[in-house]
């Protein structure tokens, strides 16, 4: 089972990296559009209509594209001193509890985003200037946030496995997450 969770964890990280790359490309596109708009304003006193509309839609998608990677690679705020002070076994269980709470949080967040996207769809909300329907963009954002749920469940399983082994999970030089053979 150890190898199975580790391999699924590695695949989830790879998929999350691809999604983050998509988000990075989106940020670059938004940056180029914004620079073009600023230059058009400065040089020709002719801004590009709708940049704010487009930016509002792109930013939510771009930000949500990075969440799965942050979860898969355990890039989040963690208070480690208590776990380290109480020893490796308790540290591992605190990590597992933290992963469980994070799983529930992203499940609830995804549910709320589903409701919000549904409200946008029913109301037919559009952007102010260009009249672009907002709901499809938020559907993509919601999908990216829902991807966080299975990614975090994989993290939870890995953390639970580490807790059962009695030692906290660590990240190796290759970025892989594992339970050390010896305690600390």
Determine contact, residues 127/177, Cβ cutoff 8 Å.
no
Give me the number of domains the chain comprises: 1
pLDDT < 70: residue spans in the chain = 1-3, 170-184
Q: What is the pTM of this model?
A: 0.87
| 35 falls within a domain | yes
DSSP 8-state code for residue 183: -
Residue 118 forms part of a structural domain: yes
Q: Which residues contact 129 (CB under 8 A, 6 or more apart)?
A: 49, 50, 52, 53
Q: What backbone torsions phi and psi does residue 166 show, to the nearest 5 degrees? A: 85, 15
pLDDT digits over 42-60, tens only?
999 999 999 999 999 999 9
Q: What is the 3-state secondary structure (H, E, C) of 5-63?
A: HHHHHHHHHHHHHHHHHHHHHHHHHHHHHHHHHHHHHHHHCCCCCCHHHHHHHHHHHHH
- Its domain, for residue 49, covers 2-172
In a domain, 180, yes or no: no
Got the DSSP string for 52-98?
A: HHHHHHHHHHHHHHHHHHHHHTT-S----HHHHHH-HHHHHHHHHHH
Q: Does residue 181 belong to any structural domain of this protein? A: no
Asked whether residue 177 is domain-assigned, the answer is: no
List, in order, residues 6 or more apart from 105 with CB less than 8 Å away.
Answer: none
Element spanning 178, H or E: strand 177-178
pLDDT digits (tens, 9 = 90+) for 135-150: 999 999 999 999 999 9
Looking at residue 166, the DSSP 8-state letter turns out to be T
SS3 177: strand
Considering the domain boundaries, does residue 91 fall inside one?
yes
Residue 20 lies in a domain: yes
């Amino acid at each position: 089972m150890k190898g199975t969770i580790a391999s699924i964890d590695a695949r989830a990280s790879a998929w999350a990296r691809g999604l983050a790359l998509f988000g990075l490309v989106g940020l670059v596109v938004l940056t180029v559009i914004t620079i073009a708009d600023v230059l058009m304003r400065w040089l020709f006193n002719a801004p590009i209509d709708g940049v704010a509309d487009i930016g509002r839609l792109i930013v939510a998608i771009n930000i949500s594209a990075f969440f799965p990677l942050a979860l898969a690679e355990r890039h989040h705020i963690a208070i480690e001193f208590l776990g380290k002070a109480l020893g490796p076994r308790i540290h591992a269980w605190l990590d597992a509890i933290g992963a469980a709470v994070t799983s529930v949080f992203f499940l609830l967040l995804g549910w709320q985003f589903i409701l919000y996207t549904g409200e946008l769809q029913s109301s037919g909300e559009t952007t102010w200037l260009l009249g672009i329907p907002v709901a499809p963009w938020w559907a993509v954002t919601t999908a990216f946030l829902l991807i966080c749920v299975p990614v975090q469940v994989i993290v939870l399983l890995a953390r639970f496995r580490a807790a059962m082994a009695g030692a906290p999970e660590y990240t190796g030089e290759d970025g892989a997450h594992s339970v050390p053979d010896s305690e600390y």
